[in-house]
Amino acid sequence: MREELTAIFNLDLSLTQGRQRLQKWAAKVKRAALTCFDKFLKSLHNHLDEIANYFDKRASSGFVEGLNNKLKTITRRSYGLKRVDSLFRRLWLDLNGYRHFIA
C-alpha cells in the first residue's frame, strides 16, 4: 500500500486525476481494514485539497522542512556555545563545509 501511494505521486497526473487517485487509494486502504494508516487517512481527508495541489505545480516544501529540521538539530547540538559567531560557524560547516572535503 505504501508503495502504491508513492507511485501515485511519481505519476504525471493533473490536479483532478491526482485527487481522484488519492481518494481511490484511501478507499482501498479502508476496505483492507488496515489500521496503520489511520492517522494518515485522517490527515489526507482533512487536507486533501492542499495535498492534491502537489499535482498542479509539482512543488513541495520538502527542502524547507529538511533545512528547518537540520537547523533545529544543529542548534540542539550547539547548546552551551557562548558566542553567536560560533553557532553560525557550526551552521555554515554543517550546511556547506562537506563540499570542501569531497574529492
Q: Give the pLDDT of residue 103.
A: 57
**Distance from C-alpha of 24 to C-alpha of 15, rounded to nearest angstrom:** 14
Q: Give the pLDDT of residue 41.
A: 92
Residues 6 or more apart whose CB falls under 8 angstroms from that of 3 comprise none
**pLDDT of the chain along its 103 residues, tens only?**
889 999 999 998 999 999 999 999 999 999 998 888 889 999 999 999 999 998 988 888 888 888 889 888 877 877 777 788 887 887 788 778 777 776 5
Q: Is the dihedral of CA 67, 68, 71, 73 positive or negative?
A: negative
Total-model pTM:
0.61
Q: Give the pLDDT of residue 85.
A: 84
> Contact at 8 Å (CB) between 9 and 36?
no
